A and B are shown apart, each in its own frame.
Chain A
Amino acid sequence: MDIFIAQLGIAFQGTNLVILFLATLAGIMIGAIPGLTVNMAVALCVPLTIHFSLAPSLCMLFALYVSGIYGGSVSAILVNTPGTPASAATTLDGYPMAQQGKAGKAMKMALFASLCGGMISIGILVMVAQNLATVALKFGPVERATLLLFALTIVGVLSGASILKGLLAGSLGLMVATVGADPMLAVPRFTFGRLELEDGFSYIPLLIGLFALSEMFQQAEDRMRTSIKALQGKSPVAEHNSLTWSDVVLSWKTIIRSSLLGTFIGILPGIGATVACFFGYGEAKRAAKNPEAFGRGTVEGVAAAEAANNAVSGATLIPLLSLSIPGDTVTAILYGALLIQGVTTGPLIFQNQIDAVYLIYITLTMANFFMALVGYSFMALFRRVTDIPRRILFPIIFVFCVIGSYSIRNTIFDVFVMMAFGIIGYFMRRQAIPVAPMLIAFILAQPFEEALRQALVGSEGDVTVFFTRPISAGFLVLTAFSVWLILRRSLKKKSETNPGGGRIS
């Protein structure tokens, strides 16, 4: 308890509150501008955390993450374009509400549902993470290797439209991670005598390149000419601009259901907020008394989508903290940021760095409350943000990418690494190959290699050890079963849309 109170004191320091406020403001604005994503914002701010201690770093990154997801709903409601993919389902009811002059009500419901979703998922994070870590402590290298194989496969399989392309992206991440000294014998691999490559590719330039830069390259395809006009109309009817008690009563069941669904989806690696938001929306429609009202502008639709996507934020930290498995892109970025701060995720964090765990819980909670506070107070400002032209923003962000990558080790080599991965990421996107499995595989490659080699050395090269130990065999069965389920669903979907086709990839 003393540690918790001490961390509470640290989190509430003035500097951290200012950082929370500014990051929340920036997060909502970034989320609200179509084309700028939460991944990009968090990736760009990781280099800044090198110069901060743990508490301000967490405040900044969590505020950007949580408020960025909410920010996506602003443009989803006002311009019928989700600011982030996680808010795609919000457009279904949010925009019709804005057309009816109820944009204020929709935005307030999105904020309220986001706060509820976030808080419910934090509650589950606190209850589940430590217990899961206690189980994970019993794992040896054999179990760790199969668990990581499960995570890598699921992330690859679920991240894109094509299963094979997702898995290929993951295998590319594994290959890129082998550059540098081998983790067990420190033998240099693929360094070509270059000192800069001895430690492998630097994590931050790689993620800035893959997420921020490649996204900008993609947006540059139309020379950033596309302009978006937001619905700014405010209804003269006061009730249309505010959230009433009856709206809350109408939506509370939906909010709780969507929050729980979002939390469940967040725990599973590789799925993320975009799927959660559609899943939450679909379930709300299925359970609603008037399903025909969905899609025509109902607050319940907005609440369902927003509660589900924000509930993912706390839940994705469960596998990260307890098993050291980042479930989605943002947690993969957070994993790197925590490493920079000397915080090693995994089951031992609850024994060795419990102060950091408490700080994560506290700052994530604060980020949710700041989202609600700032989101409510500056709603009028956020309505205007969607008008900022990308042709001004993106060159500025590019310069930030360069300076951020340079500032890690003060070398231009890292900037070239960022450019190289930006180009790789862009061509992957162009070919509809998801980039998230590549980053997650890059992160998981080293622990996977260590566990695999330790397990095989321990069994003297006997690969049957993975099938004979019960937990390990369980993970292998789970991997095979999940792949089979997803493959079956994907083939079924394809045969429905293209009855004559025989597409496999």
Chain B
Amino acid sequence: MRIGLFFLSAALLFASLLVPTISEDWRQSKIEEVEFFTIGPRFFPYLSAGIMGLLSLLLIFGDLLRKRAGRGEVETPPPKPPLRPVLAFMGIGFGYIAVLPYLGVILATPLCLAVYFWYFEFQRWNRILPLSIGVTAVIYYCFAKLMMVPLPMGFLER
């Protein structure tokens, strides 16, 4: 039910974001006695949102039917895996991306790797440090030196 409602809201939000004045979407036009048919840029987004809305309604309807059929029976949903470690993984990742333009790859990457290794209980600092620095060196060498990709260098660039 929740998934259906989520997708239905997404479809409605998506459709409501379309500016209704971009152009006319489905009409017969006439310029100097020549008639022609046009389809505007909103047609496809409306179609996609419509499909998603319809599918969401089917999902909600199916869930309701299932609920009604299973009334009286006690159904325990399977336990969901914990979200906290994932949020921590995401948080460290966002932190890395946020500091990357300022600290640069050379400083931000070993820091990020060290934090990750520490978080995932690989807590031997005599291994964490050389591994973090070694991986950063390999990445920097491969991208910046071998493939000539300009990497963010942060304040070291100045």
Contact of B116 among A398, A400, A423, A505 (CB under 8 A): A398
Contact of A220 among B55, B56, B85, B136 (CB under 8 A): B85
B148 within 8 A of A: yes
B5 within 8 A of A: no
Q: How far is the CA of A84 from the CA of B31 in the complex (A)?
A: 59
Let me know if A175 and B52 touch, CB within 8 A: yes
Q: How far is the CA of A431 from the CA of B113 in the complex (A)?
A: 29
Provide the A161-181 mask, 1 if CB < 8 A to any CB of B, else 0.
Answer: 000110110011011001000
Nearest chain A CB to B68 CB, angstrom units: 8
Provide the A8-33 mask, 1 if CB < 8 A to any CB of B, else 0.
Answer: 00000000000000000000000000
Let me know if B17 and A190 touch, CB within 8 A: yes
A249 within 8 A of B: no
A48 within 8 A of B: yes
* Residues from chain B with Cβ under 8 Å of A422 in the complex: 90
Let me know if B59 and A505 touch, CB within 8 A: yes
Among residues of A, the one whose C-beta sits closest to the C-beta of B98 is: A412
Let me know if A168 and B55 touch, CB within 8 A: yes
Let me know if A171 and B52 touch, CB within 8 A: yes
* Residues from chain B with Cβ under 8 Å of A500 in the complex: 69-70, 73
Let me know if A168 and B69 touch, CB within 8 A: no
- A sample of 25 cross-chain residue pairs with beta-carbon separation below 8 angstroms, ordered by A number, consists of A51-B148, A171-B51, A171-B52, A172-B7, A175-B52, A187-B40, A189-B45, A190-B45, A217-B90, A389-B122, A392-B131, A398-B116, A402-B96, A403-B143, A407-B151, A412-B152, A419-B90, A419-B94, A449-B44, A452-B47, A456-B37, A457-B37, A460-B37, A461-B39, A503-B66
Q: How far is the CA of A182 from the CA of B39 in the complex (A)?
A: 12
Among residues of A, the one whose C-beta sits closest to the C-beta of B115 is: A395
Provide the A389-415 mask, 1 if CB < 8 A to any CB of B, else 0.
Answer: 101101110111011001100101001
Known pairs A187-B22, A221-B86, A500-B69; A399 contacts B37 (CB<8 A) = no
Q: How far is the CA of A223 from the CA of B85 in the complex (A)?
A: 6
A426 within 8 A of B: yes
In this complex, how many residues of chain B approach chain A with their Cβ under 8 Å: the count is 75
A339 within 8 A of B: no
B28 within 8 A of A: yes
Nearest chain B CB to A414 CB, angstrom units: 11
Let me know if A222 and B113 touch, CB within 8 A: no
B139 within 8 A of A: yes
Q: How far is the CA of A392 from the CA of B116 in the complex (A)?
A: 9
Let me know if B51 and A398 touch, CB within 8 A: no
Known pairs A178-B48, A391-B122; A221 contacts B56 (CB<8 A) = no
Contact of A171 among B48, B62, B143, B150 (CB under 8 A): B48
Interface residues of A in 173-216 (CB under 8 A from B): 174-175, 178, 182, 184-185, 187, 189-190, 216
* Residues from chain A with Cβ under 8 Å of B61 in the complex: 504
* Residues from chain B with Cβ under 8 Å of A165 in the complex: 3, 59
Binding site for B on A (CB under 8 A): 48, 51, 164-165, 167-168, 171-172, 174-175, 178, 182, 184-185, 187, 189-190, 216-218, 220-225, 389, 391-392, 394-396, 398-400, 402-403, 406-407, 410, 412, 415-416, 419, 422-423, 426, 430-431, 433, 445, 449, 452-453, 456-457, 460-461, 500-505
Q: How far is the CA of A457 from the CA of B29 in the complex (A)?
A: 12
Let me know if A175 and B109 touch, CB within 8 A: no
Let me know if B97 and A185 touch, CB within 8 A: no
Among residues of A, the one whose C-beta sits closest to the C-beta of B66 is: A503
* Residues from chain B with Cβ under 8 Å of A503 in the complex: 62, 65-66, 69
* Residues from chain A with Cβ under 8 Å of B147 in the complex: 48, 51, 407
Provide the B79-93 mask, 1 if CB < 8 A to any CB of A, else 0.
Answer: 011110110111001
Provide the B10-44 mask, 1 if CB < 8 A to any CB of A, else 0.
Answer: 11001001100011001010000000011111111
Q: How far is the CA of A426 from the CA of B86 in the complex (A)?
A: 9
Q: How far is the CA of A450 from the CA of B48 in the complex (A)?
A: 14
Let me know if A217 and B52 touch, CB within 8 A: no
Q: How far is the CA of A461 from the CA of B47 in the complex (A)?
A: 15
B120 within 8 A of A: yes
Q: How far is the CA of A398 from the CA of B39 in the complex (A)?
A: 43
* Residues from chain B with Cβ under 8 Å of A389 in the complex: 122
Contact of A412 among B26, B59, B100, B136 (CB under 8 A): B100
Let me know if A164 and B55 touch, CB within 8 A: yes
Let me know if A399 and B135 touch, CB within 8 A: yes
* Residues from chain B with Cβ under 8 Å of A504 in the complex: 58, 61-62, 65-66
* Residues from chain B with Cβ under 8 Å of A449 in the complex: 44
Q: How far is the CA of A453 from the CA of B58 in the complex (A)?
A: 27
Let me know if B121 and A391 touch, CB within 8 A: yes
Contact of A185 among B40, B52, B94 (CB under 8 A): B40
Nearest chain B CB to A389 CB, angstrom units: 7
* Residues from chain B with Cβ under 8 Å of A182 in the complex: 41, 44
* Residues from chain A with Cβ under 8 Å of B148 in the complex: 51
Nearest chain A CB to B47 CB, angstrom units: 8
